[in-house]
Amino acid sequence: MLTYPEINPVALALGPLKIHWYGLMYLLGFAAFWALGRWRASRPGSGWTADMVDDVLFYGVVGVIVGGRLGYMLFYGFDQILADPINLFKVWQGGMAFHGGLLGVLLAMWLFARRHGRRFFEITDFIAPLVPLGLLAGRIGNFINAELWGHATDLPWGISVPCLRVPEHCAGLTLEDLSPPLHPSQLYEAGLEGVALFLILWAFSSRPRPTMAVSGLFLLCYGCFRFLVEFVRLPDPQLGYLAFDWLTMGQVLSTPMIAFGVLLLVLAYRRRPAAA
């Protein structure tokens, strides 16, 4: 059994101004996107310029933040909006949904493609391998915030967390106690959605592929990884299980990703024109 290393979610406090690790993780993810994107743009025949990478990053940041927050509040916290609409803007408390962020980014990429006269899937194929390191950083931010834990487990890597941080896991215990060992599901997601997905997409996109293939593989792999982790990750308490005592909102939202990813791969390889 491991014990959660108590980490202050505030990285730096300057009077009333507080800089949270969660926000810094997002900045780290954006920085990784920018650096890798510029490197890929510099390769011969990429069809991209450094300025285009800067521009697409700006569009992506807006899409991630607006879409991620709106998606979370609509999918998981609609009652919080009804209770107090100001909750929509309290991003420092956590509460960003990947699926909402994905929709926001797709809309932003459509606008970017229109502005630059490019095809939509040319854009998404370029950015797909750049996204997983941002997902990795975001999941580390979830771990620092002590959120998104999994079920209790007797596996040797289960982590006990102070009940003050996870009271929902501590029935019958005091806030001074430690929770039973829990699946560190946010670290599972960091490993799968971050490291594994990055390696898969980076290797796959290192050779010319048909347009839509890289985007399709991203959707397929992310959807499968997220669907699997949801079996050990506790559902959001305000929703619980949606059906069968195991189906979660995360699985419901990931299923169309898997189906659409398969569809894009099939269409890509039927057409077969390879992209650079």
Q: Is residue 170 part of a domain?
A: no
Rounded-to-integer distance, Cα 242 and Cα 247, Å: 5
In 10 A of CB 142, how many CB atoms? Answer: 21
Rounded-to-integer distance, Cα 150 and Cα 233, Å: 4
> Residue 170 carries which side chain, given as an amino acid letter?
C
Q: Is residue 221 part of a domain?
A: yes
Write the pLDDT tens digit of every residue in 219-270: 999 999 999 999 999 887 777 888 888 899 899 999 999 999 999 999 999 9
Q: Is residue 213 part of a domain?
A: yes
Instruction: Provide the whole-model pTM.
Output: 0.89
Do residues 68 and 104 lie in contact, with contact meaning Cβ atoms separated by under 8 Å?
yes
In 10 A of CB 111, how many CB atoms? Answer: 13
Rounded-to-integer distance, Cα 54 and Cα 76, Å: 32
Domain that holds residue 265: 14-159+178-271
Rounded-to-integer distance, Cα 215 and Cα 16, Å: 42
Write the pLDDT tens digit of every residue in 21-40: 888 998 999 999 999 999 99
Do residues 136 and 195 lie in contact, with contact meaning Cβ atoms separated by under 8 Å?
yes
Q: How many CA atoms lie within 13 A of 252 on its CB side?
A: 13
Query: How long is the chain?
Result: 276
Domains held by the chain: number: 1
Rounded-to-integer distance, Cα 21 and Cα 12, Å: 8
Rounded-to-integer distance, Cα 98 and Cα 194, Å: 13
Q: Is residue 8 part of a domain?
A: no
Q: Is residue 202 part of a domain?
A: yes
Two tokens, residue 247:
């189906």
Q: Is residue 36 part of a domain?
A: yes
Q: Is residue 46 part of a domain?
A: yes
Write the pLDDT tens digit of every residue in 91-135: 656 567 788 889 999 999 999 999 999 999 999 999 999 999 999
Q: Is residue 23 part of a domain?
A: yes
Do residues 41 and 53 lie in contact, with contact meaning Cβ atoms separated by under 8 Å?
yes
